[in-house]
Structure 1
Amino acid sequence: MAGLRSQRGQVLVLGMLLAAVLGLAWLRYFATGQVTAAKARMVHGLDAAAYSGALVQARTLNFLSYLNRAQLAHQLAMAHLLTLGGWAHYGGTQARRLAQGNPPAYLIGMLFGAQQGRAYLAAASALGLDLQARPGGALAQAFAAHEAFVHDYAQDLSRALAQGLPQARLDAIRAVLAAHYPDRPVQHMQPRISHDTWPALLRQHPPDAALFDLVRSIAGLYAFLEPRNATAQNAWSVDARCPGLRHELRRRGGTELDASGRWQSGDTQSFHAVRSNRWVGCYYREYAMGWAWMPSQPGQAISAEHADDAPADFSGQDFWRWVQASTQWDLLGRQANPLANSYAMQYRQQWPSRGLAGYLDVDSKAGPQATAGFVVHLTLPDAAGMPVHARSAAETLFSRPVPRTDGAAEAANLFHPYWQARLARPLLPLPGD
């Protein structure tokens, strides 16, 4: 009995030791759980912040795409305004010719039909419209406003958006983290960006061949900008020495983008009467009925035949003599209105333009599948004051919502607003991370 009494309490010692071990294990488990929870919370918040940063990139790229498309729309508006100004000028000059009876309206109707006669008579209502096409008029002011948007406002805005994106993206990341950690001081939220491909994604392009082709192809969709060419002939022979020739009424006009990226518009109409004499034989005597030439820079010239010093009338000399002495025109030419072109050049109305503007687009070096990716890093202290590290990656990619109708693959660009955001696999850290 005495031996048994001497062994009492030994189990208590072992129990206390076991309890201490279990307590330490529990404390360790609790601390690990806290770190794991803090880590999970940080990863979730950082993923949301990184995605928000990529979403800011996507919205910026899509806005830049709409801005490029807006520049195209303004260019097309300028082409329409220049054409409208040309029509106003053309209507005014034709109204004056009608008033002079050179040629008379009844003759046009008799030779080419009542519809042509009525159209010529309708020019009377356009008297004075050519004044609206002059620089400083309402149409010219609207043209200048579109010009300013293309070359000033849009250019400045696109540069500001591209240059300000890194800061806007960082502000969005910080805002999400601040909302995710309302219990922490804002100064603790110091995310760091690495592996950022944004600076190499975009490049400022000059007005290149691709832009010229795009603008011309879009202009081809508008009937108002299509060539305005038509020829009417009377039905009977008017001179026995010229049995194959007929009086002609030629309407010529068009709006085009020249090699310098500037719009130009011209419109003419002339009555070409068949004449003949013993010196030159058969020829066409041109009577200019209306003309207009709207260039948008000094030095632009009508591509069709014209003369720089055509006389205002031919009362003092024969038309054919002047043509032979002063020009290289073909008196039997049946394509253009060279005399009306000459008047159009002499009385042109110029609206100044700087031409097509440069544009921001994806750098070709970035490849057809270019993305704007980045990795965001964050370090925060846990409950015990120990630092907890986390990182997340996100990217903005070009992805069409539906395939192209022609089945072709489309490279990333800033003309279609198909940029989307997504999380990405974090890249390996840089040395020193």
Structure 2
Amino acid sequence: MTSWSARTAIAAARHARGQALIWLLGTLVACAAILYGVFNTAQITVAKQRTVNAADAGALAGATVQARVLNLAAYNNRAMMANEAFLIQMLSIESWLQYFGTTADNFGTLAELIGVFVPPVEAIGQFLDKMGDVADKIHDGLAKANNLIIKAIELEKKAIYAAHTVVIKAGGLLAEDAASKIVEANRTQWGTHEDIGVEIDKRPGVRAATFGLNEKDWLAFTTSYTGNKRTDAKEILLNSRDRFSADRPGAWWTNLNLGLVGTEKRGGSQLKGFDRWETQDTLEVWEKVPCKSGMCKEYQPIGWGRSNADKNGGNGDVWEPNRAAQKFAYEQAESHSGWSGVPNVYDIKDKSAKARPALGIDFIVATRRVRTATLTTHQMGIGLDVGANTGGADMAERLEADQYTAIGKARVFFERPQRGLANDFTARGLWRDDSAKEYGSLFSPYWQARLADLTPAEKIGLMTSMGMVPDKALYTPGGQR
């Protein structure tokens, strides 16, 4: 028989049955809410990071393409200058061969005359005559070769200039295409399903603030230098000559000074204006003779040679000091036609000292990912409020302009490695011999790309065009300066 206390305990237990289930259900609801929150937060964070990564990758890809276009132009400009330097070398050799031939002929004739009285000297004269004939034949062959070289160089530099015009004009479009493809590569596909993913923001206002400004800045960064604007190209061409082409004073024995008699050798090349090469070599013997001022040098020509190149094949000008040797060289010059002059080139438009330290160009990309592209509990229909008095577990994400947005910016800049940089062991072959700081141009292929921060003005303008409240530029990442 059960006692009263026992019956009371059993009744109490029966009365409390099911209360643990209520606590369990409450706990499960709380856990579900936390799970939904963690899941949604993770999905939103991943979506945001993918959008940011796509913007940065797209901006860097576009800037890299622009840097490569500039480097391509620099390599081609250097190639044109190398070809022009080769031409002046060939013209200088042609001039020197003619000079050698006339010198050998004149010395040979003199030796043969002396040989009438001193027979052994006659053999020397005959040898010099043969050397002169050989030099003349080589000179004639080289003159024909130089005509072909000029034609080849002219075809090449016209082709390179035309290619530069096309590539530089299209450089902005090439960069935009690279950025778009990189952004598209962030999309995921499996089977027949394709994730909407991240895309370039192509709304008109945004495109005007990104692609429009990118294209404008790109086209304004370089310009074509033709006619009298080829000053820099001319200077580079002159500095590209080797020592033989630039100045040929001759050996010591061609510049003797024995007091009353001596010899003087002159030679080198001159670029007259932008459209004429003149190369010349002369050898003179001098003697001092009485004159009104005392003793003066009187010069006699021994050897001469000259080679010119311009559009029409003219002889050019008589060089100083305008004595008989220089006049003979002018009159007997080998003149080549068809050379159009210093090449037309594309180079940096703003070459001012103020622009040099920060020389470069920016490339901006804006990306977006629509809210519906991110798989959250709201998109999957979990916990939606169906009008029940108890409410629901719907956790709809609230996004500015109902999308995830990001802005990426990259900078195209010029930097040639300098000697002595800390921990830099890979750029030894790129160091300048003079250790000087080199500024950007389209004659050196050291253009690079890197990510850069937005300016506050850029960020405000872009956020406005993307349908966002611009005051968020003050407290969102990027653009704080």
Under a length normalisation based on structure 2, what TM-score does the superposition of the two structures give?
0.65
Which runs of 5 or more structure 2 residues have no equivalent in the other structure? 1-7, 202-206, 380-401, 420-431, 467-481
Shift of 1:35: 1.8
Alpha-carbon distance between aligned partners in 1 of 2:288 and 2:112, rounded to the nearest angstrom: 16
Shift of 1:4: 9.8
Shift of 1:122: 2.1
Alpha-carbon distance between aligned partners in 1 of 2:224 and 2:306, rounded to the nearest angstrom: 37
Alpha-carbon distance between aligned partners in 2 of 1:209 and 1:350, rounded to the nearest angstrom: 24
C-alpha distance 106-391 of structure 1, shift in aligned 2 (>3 A)? farther
C-alpha distance 19-164 of structure 1, shift in aligned 2 (>3 A)? same
Aligned to 1:387: 403
Does residue 1:213 correspond to 2:235, yes or no?
Answer: yes
Conservation of the 8 A alpha-carbon contact between 1:90 and 1:130:
no
Aligned to 2:351: 364
**Identical counterparts, % of pairs:** 23
C-alpha distance 232-104 of structure 1, shift in aligned 2 (>3 A)? farther
Alpha-carbon distance between aligned partners in 2 of 1:202 and 1:190, rounded to the nearest angstrom: 27
Aligned to 1:62: 71
Aligned to 1:226: 247
Q: After superposing the two structures, state which structure 1 stretch, 391-400 or 342-351, moved more.
A: 342-351
Which runs of 5 or more structure 1 residues have no equivalent in the other structure? 236-243, 307-337
Q: How many residues align?
A: 380
Correspondences of 1:346-361 after superposition (within 5 Å):
346-352=331-337, 353-361=339-347
Alpha-carbon distance between aligned partners in 2 of 1:173 and 1:67, rounded to the nearest angstrom: 25
Alpha-carbon distance between aligned partners in 1 of 2:301 and 2:167, rounded to the nearest angstrom: 56
Alpha-carbon distance between aligned partners in 1 of 2:111 and 2:257, rounded to the nearest angstrom: 15
Aligned to 2:218: 198
C-alpha distance 163-106 of structure 1, shift in aligned 2 (>3 A)? farther
Considering fraction of residues, name the structure with more helix. Answer: 2
SS at 2:439 equivalent = coil
Alpha-carbon distance between aligned partners in 1 of 2:273 and 2:111, rounded to the nearest angstrom: 37
Aligned to 1:377: 366
Shift of 1:15: 6.0
Residue type of the partner of 2:413? L
Alpha-carbon distance between aligned partners in 1 of 2:30 and 2:159, rounded to the nearest angstrom: 73
Correspondences of 1:119-268 after superposition (within 5 Å):
122-132=131-141, 134=143, 137-150=144-157, 152-183=158-189, 184=194, 189-190=199-200, 193=210, 196=214, 197-206=217-226, 207-219=229-241, 221-229=242-250, 231=254, 245-246=260-261, 250-268=264-282
Conservation of the 8 A alpha-carbon contact between 2:234 and 2:274:
no
SS at 1:392 equivalent = strand
Conservation of the 8 A alpha-carbon contact between 1:51 and 1:394:
yes
Q: Which residue among 391, 399, 409 is the counterpart of 2:437?
A: 409
SS at 1:300 equivalent = coil
Aligned to 2:81: 72
Alpha-carbon distance between aligned partners in 2 of 1:406 and 1:130, rounded to the nearest angstrom: 38
Residue type of the partner of 2:135? A
Q: After superposing the two structures, state which structure 1 stretch, 420-429 or 198-207, moved more.
A: 198-207
Conservation of the 8 A alpha-carbon contact between 2:64 and 2:448:
yes
C-alpha distance 388-234 of structure 1, shift in aligned 2 (>3 A)? closer
Larger C-alpha radius of gyration, 1 or 2? 2
Q: Which residue among 340, 344, 348 is the counterpart of 2:329?
A: 344
Residue type of the partner of 2:465? G
Under a length normalisation based on structure 1, what TM-score does the superposition of the two structures give?
0.71
